[in-house]
Amino acid sequence: MPVNPLSPLRLALNSHLDLLPVATLVLLNKPFNVLCQFTDSKGRRTLADFVNLKQVYPAGRLDYDSEGLVLLTDDGQLQQKIAAPGRKMPKTYWVQVEGVISEQALALLRTGLALKDGPTRPALAERMPPPERLWPRHPPVRERQSVPTSWLTLTITEGRNRQVRRMTAAVGFPTLRLIRYGIGEWCLDNLAPGACSTRTVHLPQAQRQTKRPAKRTKRKPV
């Protein structure tokens, strides 16, 4: 039975939420060839070309040549909750690979792989059709006419450097296009490339004394 928005219960709940500290969370669909930082001495496109809000910083990073969801916030503890490796927040990717991904390769991704920097945690890996709402990439992916391509959805709980690309290469299917679709409970939905969506996140009482988020140090794209 629906709750009357003017009922004492609903008014009490709303009053409780009003007392909680809040943080700003920005969801950005980062286009291809955009740095996941706000400045660049070489004149390349950065987050500043798409995010107009002040005092928000990325929670984690996404490679220059990858696309998709980037979360930014003005709250240091929320940034840490999203980005800290120990939190194991799941990240879901849509991955276009060269070749038709095999069940054997998917099984290896699911159980974990031995990479140069150590074994990966088990991942969720499934074949998927090409995304229905997929936008064109500029420049487009270079595909060989004699070699088919396929798509998979891959969910990992780590954030190593270029991890997804290294994982698909290790099972014999190089990544051609990489789109991050979701981080934890947040996802792209219908967010267009370069577009932002701003949310208000209610924080636990313990976070009332919130520190500003840490600025990301500049890292050379690889």
SS3 67: strand
Per-residue pLDDT tens digits for 89-111: 999 999 999 999 999 999 999 99
* 63, 74, 117, 189: the active-site residue: 63
Query: Do 21-87 and 90-183 come out as alike in CATH topology?
Result: yes
Instruction: Name, in order, each residue with C-beta under 8 angstroms of 177's C-beta and a sequence gap of 6 or more.
Output: 67, 95, 96, 137, 141
Question: Which of 146, 178, 201, 211 lies closest to 62 in space, CA to CA?
Answer: 178
> What CATH architecture is 21-87?
2-Layer Sandwich (3.30)
Which pLDDT value is given to residue 21? 80
- Structural domain spans, the chain: 21-87, 90-183
For residue 63, indicate whether it is catalytic. yes
**Contact criterion met (CB below 8 Å) for 90 and 155:** yes
Render pLDDT for 113-139 as a digit per residue (tens, 0 to 9).
Answer: 999 999 999 999 999 999 998 999 999
The more confident residue out of 142 and 74 is 74
Reported as a pLDDT band with limits 50, 70 and 90, residue 221 is very low
Asked if 53 and 27 count as a contact pair (C-beta separation under 8 A), the reply is: no
Query: How many residues are listed for the chain in this entry?
Result: 222
- Asked whether the predicted pLDDT for residue 11 surpasses 50, the reply is no
What three-state secondary structure class fits 17? helix
Is the pLDDT assigned to residue 222 strictly greater than 80? Answer: no
Whole-structure pTM value = 0.84
4 CB burial (10 A radius; 0-12, 13-18, 19+): exposed
- 90-183: CATH class: alpha beta
Residue 182 region by backbone torsions, left for phi larger than 0, else alpha for psi between -120 and 50, else beta = beta
